[in-house]
Structures are given as structure tokens and as C-alpha cells.
Amino acid sequence: GNSVTQMEGPVTLSEEAFLTINCTYTATGYPSLFWYVQYPGEGLQLLLKATKADDKGSNKGFEATYRKETTSFHLEKGSVQVSDSAVYFCALSQDNYGQNFVFGPGTRLSVLP
């Protein structure tokens, strides 16, 4: 079956540090890949997505590139801020209709001033 694996947290960084959160997936075919962010006490918000190999999703300074050869979709940001503290979920969707959505376990990020 489909699955998503993320690096275990929590991740604690100082402000302006470089961030990488690893994500790898197992799926048949060519899934779409997503990063969602959940701020404390809130629901999930779509951060970025990529729908095919070599696509790069980007938003709010975050980037992730769909690497089919390594089945990865690592999240990066060059300079994190305190406001980036949240839980980040990697996810995949197996079809074009939002069905079969599979989430990773989430990685908690804490950014210290």
C-alpha cells in the first residue's frame, strides 16, 4: 500500500537557520505530493504541492522538489522564523480526485528567537 515516511521530530532550530525536513514515499504510479502545515490549535493548511517528477513546489520561502528516482519530497527553507513553528505533514494523493490521501506522521518544528 501507499505510505509516507517523515523524519522524526521534534526539530528545534534557531531563527534564520536552514531547515530540511525529509519525506519519502511508497506508491504505485505517479502520485501528487503535498506539504501541509498545522499551526497550534488549527487545522491543516496547504503549504505547497507538486504533481509530477522534477516539479518544484514553493510558497512562503519553503520549497520541495518531486524526486521520483529517490521517491522523495524533502521540504527546505533557507531562513526560518519563529512564526514557522508548527507541525509539518508530508502527504500523497494517488489519483486526480483527492481520494487515497495518505499523510506522513508529521514533524514538529520549533524555532527559537
Partner 1 sequence: GAVVSQHPSWVICKSGTSVKIECRSLDFQATTMFWYRQFPKQSLMLMATSNEGSKATYEQGVEKDKFLINHASLTLSTLTVTSAHPEDSSFYICSARRGFHTDTQYFGPGTRLTVL
Chain residues binding partner 1 by CB under 8 A are: 32, 34, 36, 42-46, 49, 51, 89, 93, 95-99, 101, 103-106, 108
Minimum distance from CB of 18 to partner 1 (Å)?
A: 25
- Could you give the CA distance from residue 6 to residue 112 in angstroms, rounded to a whole number? 22
* CB of 72 or CB of 103, closer to partner 1: 103
Minimum distance from CB of 72 to partner 1 (Å)?
A: 18
* CB of 17 or CB of 24, closer to partner 1: 24
Minimum distance from CB of 107 to partner 1 (Å)?
A: 10
Is 11 in contact with 110 (CB distance < 8 Å)?
yes
* CB of 64 or CB of 106, closer to partner 1: 106
- Could you give the CA distance from residue 4 to residue 84 in angstroms, rounded to a whole number? 22
SS (HEC) of 20-44: EECEEEECCCCCEEEEEEECCCCCE
Minimum distance from CB of 103 to partner 1 (Å)?
A: 5
